[in-house]
């Protein structure tokens, strides 16, 4: 389950994005929004819900992988 | 809908983060998801153990409201109001959280713009975002729903 962290879009075919999480790859559907390979995104329930600006990716990893919530 | 179901619907989108940290098992995540999507009541001690941080804050809110922590109104007030205030003030973990994470963690009141199968495209403020609509029975365009992370949680009247 890598859905809690941003993954990088490596390929888009029609409305299906292939997303790389380092340890694994997953596919998710793009519903609305302008996405391109190289974008970091958050996926939940098999849909791409949000783009994460590249400068915020490290912040996500820091928060998600440490204590809190 | 009882308070256990209301709680699990609002809380389970966050459980993916707990799974990523290894705080809960795959089985526990599945149990939470199943309870949220199919309105199943989970034991209170189970929920209080997994979401101990939330319950620490719910306990405080319950005292302020003069009600029990499992009171429906307390659980609802926590997710619709208090939880957002904690995020906006940047308390606890949220001090280090990037804006895009805070945005998804907050509960927003939104309006359904269009429906594509199980997915609702909703609008709040100037933002449009897709969310899973599986927790909203027969949604209609124009209706208002609360959203949390990638899910629509509750229909608003």
Residue A20 inside a domain? The answer is yes
Residues B1, A66: Cα–Cα separation, whole Å: 33
Residue bearing tokens 């459980």: B15
pLDDT tens digits for range A6-49: 999 999 999 999 999 988 999 999 999 899 999 999 999 889 99
With an 8 Å Cβ cutoff, is A44 touching chain B?
yes
Nearest to A45 among B21, B100, B151 (CB): B151
pLDDT at A66 over 80: no
Quick one: closest CA in B to A66, which residue? Answer: B21
- Domain containing residue B117: CATH number: 2.30.30.140
Q: Please give the angle made by the CA atoms of B49, B54 and B60, to the nearest 5 degrees.
A: 110
The domain of B134 spans: 106-156
Q: Which of B52, B80, B99 is the last residue of a domain?
A: B99
Whose structure tokens read 């100037």?
Answer: B126
Write down the ipTM of this complex: 0.87
Count of beta carbons in the 10 Å neighbourhood of residue A37: 12
Both B95 and B121 in a single domain? no
Interface A-B, measured as beta-carbon pairs within 8 A, has a size of 95
What domain count does chain B have? 2
**CATH number of the domain where residue A29 is located:** 2.30.30.140
Bridge partner list, A9: A19
Say what the pLDDT of residue B157 is: 85
Q: Can you give the residue range of the structural domain that contains A23? A: 7-64
pLDDT digits (tens, 9 = 90+) for B111-121: 999 999 999 99
Tell me if A42 is assigned to some domain. Answer: yes
Number of domains comprising chain A: 1
Which chain B residue's Cα is nearest to A67? B93
Return averaged pLDDT per consecutive 10 residues of chain B, 157 residues in all: 96 90 93 96 97 96 98 97 91 84 94 97 95 96 97 94
pTM confidence score: 0.93
Distance between alpha carbon B60 and the CA centroid of its chain, in Å? 18
């Amino acid at each position: 389950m890598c859905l809690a962290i941003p993954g990088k879009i490596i390929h888009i075919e029609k409305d299906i994005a292939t997303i790389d999480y380092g340890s694994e790859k997953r596919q998710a559907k793009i519903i609305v929004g302008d996405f391109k390979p190289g974008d970091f995104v958050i996926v939940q329930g098999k849909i791409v819900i949000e783009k994460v600006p590249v400068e915020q990716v490290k912040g996500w990893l820091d928060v998600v992988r440490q204590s809190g919530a | 809908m009882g308070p256990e179901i209301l709680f699990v619907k609002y809380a389970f989108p966050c459980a993916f983060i707990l799974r990523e940290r290894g705080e809960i098992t795959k089985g526990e995540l599945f149990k939470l998801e199943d309870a949220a999507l199919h309105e199943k009541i989970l034991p209170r001690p189970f929920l209080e153990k997994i979401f101990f941080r939330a319950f620490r804050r719910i306990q405080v809110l319950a005292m302020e409201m003069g009600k029990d922590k499992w009171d429906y109104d307390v659980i609802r007030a926590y997710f619709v109001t208090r939880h957002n205030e904690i995020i906006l003030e940047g308390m606890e973990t949220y001090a280090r959280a990037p804006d895009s994470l805070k945005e998804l963690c907050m509960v927003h009141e939104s309006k359904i713009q269009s429906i594509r199968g199980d997915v609702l495209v909703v609008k709040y403020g100037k933002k449009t975002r897709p969310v899973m609509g599986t927790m909203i029975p027969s949604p209609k365009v124009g209706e208002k729903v609360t959203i949390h992370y990638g899910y629509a949680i509750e229909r608003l009247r």
